[in-house]
Chains A and B, each alone.
Chain A
Amino acid sequence: QSALTQPASVSGSPGQSITISCTGTSSDVGGYDYVSWYQQHPGKAPKLLIYAVSNRPSGVSTRFSGSKSGNTASLTISGLQAEDEADYYCSSYARSNTYFFGTGTKVNVL
């Protein structure tokens, strides 16, 4: 396996909630509580949003939340804002001390 599966794009109107899925296998997402999420604006480095499935670093808006069920992790953005328009990537620890990233999801704010 080389990458976790994410939807290519998700759209929502300001104020709405959207959810981005991240599907892996029992060897990565399903096997460890080491799923993290990153936001990337064009031309910028990724920024950590969520770690260890559902934890937010200091300074990250409470509008971002994470969860996991089986081999699928999810990122929910509540109260969608224009500034949330960006690319989002999940990441998971996998066996043999390596990591996989998701295929990436472009969030469009309508």
Chain B
Amino acid sequence: QVQVVHSGAEVKRPGSSVKVSCKTSGYPFSSFYMHWVRQAPGQGLEYMGIVNPRQNYINYARKFQGRVTMTWDTSSSSVYMELSALTSEDTAVYFCAREIPATSYFDYWGQGTLVTVSS
């Protein structure tokens, strides 16, 4: 069955960077897109970007351009999201979510990784 497992919670200082990972299994990794979405405490969902491993395509939401880097490792069926220049406003749960190509919806979500930015 499809599984999407996140890396563990992180505590970071303002100005530093964080790298969150999702390890997938149960499906052909390169055949699907993966998106990143975050949710600040008590707030709504916020879209961050997409990776398409098969076509080597990445697109970031405008708000995060210049500060986010999304990558993948086909050998371990994992995707990664690195966010730099952290501030307290980046405190959130970061989710990865799978998309069947060209369907524009997210059918499987990871459990999320809590990133806390605090001095």
Contacts and interface: CB of A to CB of B under 8 A. Distances in A.
Interface of A: 2-3, 32, 34, 36, 38, 45-48, 51-52, 57, 89, 91, 93, 96-104
16 contacts: A32-B104, A45-B111, A45-B112, A46-B106, A48-B107, A51-B105, A52-B103, A91-B45, A91-B106, A97-B59, A98-B61, A98-B62, A99-B104, A101-B37, A101-B46, A104-B44
Contacts, number: 59
Contacts of A101: 37, 44-47
Interface string B62-105: 11000000000000000000000000000000010100000111
B20 interface: no
Nearest to A45: B109
A93 B62 CA distance: 14
A93 B45 contact: no
B50 A97 contact: yes
B14 interface: no
B103 A46 contact: no
A38 B109 CA distance: 11
Contacts of A38: 45, 106
Q: Would you list the 3 A-B pairs with minimal beta carbon distance, nearest first?
A: A34-B104, A51-B105, A36-B105
A52 B62 CA distance: 24
Contacts of A103: 44
